[in-house]
Structure 1
């Protein structure tokens, strides 16, 4: 059997074939994308998570010196929900990476007490159990029934010293489940929290659709904390959006005209359907275009970034259109494909925004 390819070697081969200019763009974008942008709800998230950790650490009785006194109480759950693109996964990831209690987070065998598993789509409870075992360092070599898989999960949570389990994208498990499957999922979550041998604290994140199913679990409803990631408040958050543009442009070393960020912030928030994560991604993509083309960061680069992401023409591009505030960007960004009417009839004539070398393609008044 051949060995699995080494990721670092594969990346090194790819980078060795790239030009110096391309590698320069990659180097800058690594800094830009690696910059964490704090959000207004980070403090609430940290406080809720610290409360969960304290509960996990609480023993039944610290005055009696015997083995039974070391048994911990049933734990709590932290449920973090938000629309797609609000930045919940990135905020949780940064919290876990930087928390002093979670040293070694994400490294198998490091002894970190928290393990994250991203729930795949589609997913069954058995599939989740198999993925959990892999994350715990015990990949299955043969097929097993669902209850046997979860027996192993409970065993290896204890063997690995895992005290907190983070299930990300939980909606991939619950949204497509029938009534009987939901009941089994709820019982499994309860069993994780109240296990007499090894109770585990839960951090569950996903779309808001997971809330009703989780509230139906008494232990989560009674001892859980629900945190919702807010959408951008317009106009309240516009200054923060402008600061994101200016800050990331400064890291990248790209030119930004005076007052550009302030004037662009409303369009960017609208284009990102008021979701902080999507807005940041659009800034990343516009900056990459500016670096690659050697041009300033302006509405043309944002228009190109939006076109590359959605395929829409100028009339539905909020960085170009005169009536940009009337465009329903959710119909464009949330569908798997853009609506038929937003695509040019002839793909050979697609109205892609051009760099400064081919300026003048946008409709008049769009700037």
Structure 2
């Protein structure tokens, strides 16, 4: 399956569109694109390396070996599952396609499971991905039999199904057993056993309830981010290293009493709450805040009153949050004194009685800093 970034027709269309845009707009857009492409290292990268290594080395054991033959990674939308696996699997030197006597070999097959889906349509789509288009009305038993043959013909070692929770959307609960059984037939095929990676939303966890899956699965539910120190580390990496900008004193300041630079812990807790602890959403908010800061700075440059450097602060996160969620300043988690009482997880707060105020001033920032007692993520005021 061709991806959008590899589609020549789409790339040509985008090039034509670019030619119509002003250079200054393209420069800002390209800079943000570069910033968004930079990856942030986390403890998850170490763990996924270990789990993928176990998955690969499990193929060197007995053909009917069970343990660790199916890796299941679940998490909320934008938790970073797909990106984490892409950056590991798609560049793995041992999983790159090659040819033997002009015959294509595909060690890794990667496909997103469409919704709605069935085992029959999954087999048909996988066959097409492997280069063997078949009739869409092909019966499931025949389609899976052919799929097993073609997986062996292409010498597929690992099958990665993203958005795999769509396999569980069936009308008859008994069909879930059929789903589990057919996945197992692929990993315990006596002639050509493969390894399977399933990634998707938390509902995919239900698949582990089946004994035949549970005995073979390495199940990894991705947890939420709750530690403001982790958030601070990612903030510094994206703003200072990726964007080559600085943080203002609403986020990072020098404490004369302790004689050291310190991060704003309360801000970290606000960011955790605003994102629902979702890693991908935290990344989005930080990068969007950088984008807001760059736009503000470019406008100041155009007016001739720009400061010496572009600094990213609380107001840029408030702007980024408002752009996504659509709330007034008084209902904005990055400004509101009662931020712990506001819905998190990027919830759209609809409070018609709250009038939209002007952009917060530095005095407001100082007032918030003095009067608001830091809360833990999700804590409510009494």
Superposed pair shares fold, TM > 0.5: yes
Could you tell me how far apart the structure 2 residues matched to 1:211 and 1:110 are?
A: 34
**Which of the numbers 268, 276, 280 marks the counterpart of 2:279?**
276
Q: Number of residue pairs matched? A: 331
The worse-fitting range, judged by mean Cα deviation, of 177-186 and 299-308 is 177-186
What are the Cα deviations for residues 331-358 of structure 1, in whole angstroms up to 9, with x where unaligned? x44xxxx35x34x479xx8x4986xxxx
Is 2:327 the counterpart of 1:312? yes
Could you tell me how far apart the structure 1 residues matched to 2:330 and 2:83 are?
A: 32
Could you tell me how far apart the structure 1 residues matched to 2:74 and 2:331 are?
A: 30
Tell me the SS of whatever aligns to 1:270: helix
Please list every run of 5 or more consecutive structure 1 residues that lacks an aligned counterpart in the other structure: 61-71
Cα 1:309–1:130 shift into 2, 3 Å: farther
Cα 1:9–1:305 shift into 2, 3 Å: same
CA contact (8 A) 1:287 1:297 kept: yes
Residue 230 of structure 2 is matched in structure 1 by 240
CA contact (8 A) 2:104 2:154 kept: no
CA contact (8 A) 1:254 1:290 kept: no
Is 2:163 the counterpart of 1:153? no
Could you tell me how far apart the structure 1 residues matched to 2:183 and 2:171 are?
A: 15
**How far off its partner does 1:6 sit?**
0.8
**Which of the numbers 40, 43, 47 marks the counterpart of 1:40?**
43
Is 2:214 the counterpart of 1:214? no
Could you tell me how far apart the structure 2 residues matched to 1:291 and 1:110 are?
A: 46
**Which of the numbers 88, 97, 106 marks the counterpart of 1:95?**
88
Could you tell me how far apart the structure 2 residues matched to 1:115 and 1:352 are?
A: 52
What are the Cα deviations for residues 92-142 of structure 1, in whole angstroms up to 9, with x where unaligned? 11121343322359xxx9744122211122322233223322322233465
Residue 256 of structure 2 is matched in structure 1 by none
Residue 377 of structure 2 is matched in structure 1 by none
Cα 1:170–1:115 shift into 2, 3 Å: same
CA contact (8 A) 2:285 2:317 kept: yes
Please list every run of 5 or more consecutive structure 2 residues that lacks an aligned counterpart in the other structure: 1-6, 253-262, 298-309, 370-382
Could you tell me how far apart the structure 2 residues matched to 1:289 and 1:131 are?
A: 41
Residue 249 of structure 1 is matched in structure 2 by 239
Residue 31 of structure 1 is matched in structure 2 by 34
Cα 1:362–1:21 shift into 2, 3 Å: farther
**Which of the numbers 210, 217, 224 marks the counterpart of 1:224?**
217
Tell me the SS of whatever aligns to 1:53: helix
CA contact (8 A) 2:96 2:108 kept: no
Cα 1:134–1:270 shift into 2, 3 Å: same
Cα 1:255–1:43 shift into 2, 3 Å: closer
The TM-score, its normalising length taken from structure 1, stands at 0.80
Cα 1:7–1:29 shift into 2, 3 Å: same
CA contact (8 A) 1:169 1:206 kept: yes
**Which of the numbers 99, 124, 129 marks the counterpart of 1:135?**
129
Could you tell me how far apart the structure 2 residues matched to 1:352 and 1:156 are?
A: 63
Cα 1:22–1:204 shift into 2, 3 Å: same
Is 2:174 the counterpart of 1:184? no
- For the aligned residue pairs, the C-alpha RMSD in angstroms reads 2.9
Could you tell me how far apart the structure 2 residues matched to 1:82 and 1:7 are?
A: 31
Is 2:314 the counterpart of 1:299? yes
Residue 324 of structure 1 is matched in structure 2 by 339
**How far off its partner does 1:303 sit?**
1.2
CA contact (8 A) 2:97 2:108 kept: no
Cα 1:173–1:254 shift into 2, 3 Å: same
Could you tell me how far apart the structure 2 residues matched to 1:39 and 1:176 are?
A: 36
**How far off its partner does 1:83 sit?**
2.5
Cα 1:10–1:79 shift into 2, 3 Å: same
Could you tell me how far apart the structure 1 residues matched to 2:358 and 2:170 are?
A: 39
Could you tell me how far apart the structure 2 residues matched to 1:158 and 1:316 are?
A: 57
The worse-fitting range, judged by mean Cα deviation, of 243-252 and 147-156 is 147-156
Cα 1:352–1:83 shift into 2, 3 Å: farther
The TM-score, its normalising length taken from structure 2, stands at 0.77
More strand by share: 2
Cα 1:87–1:353 shift into 2, 3 Å: farther
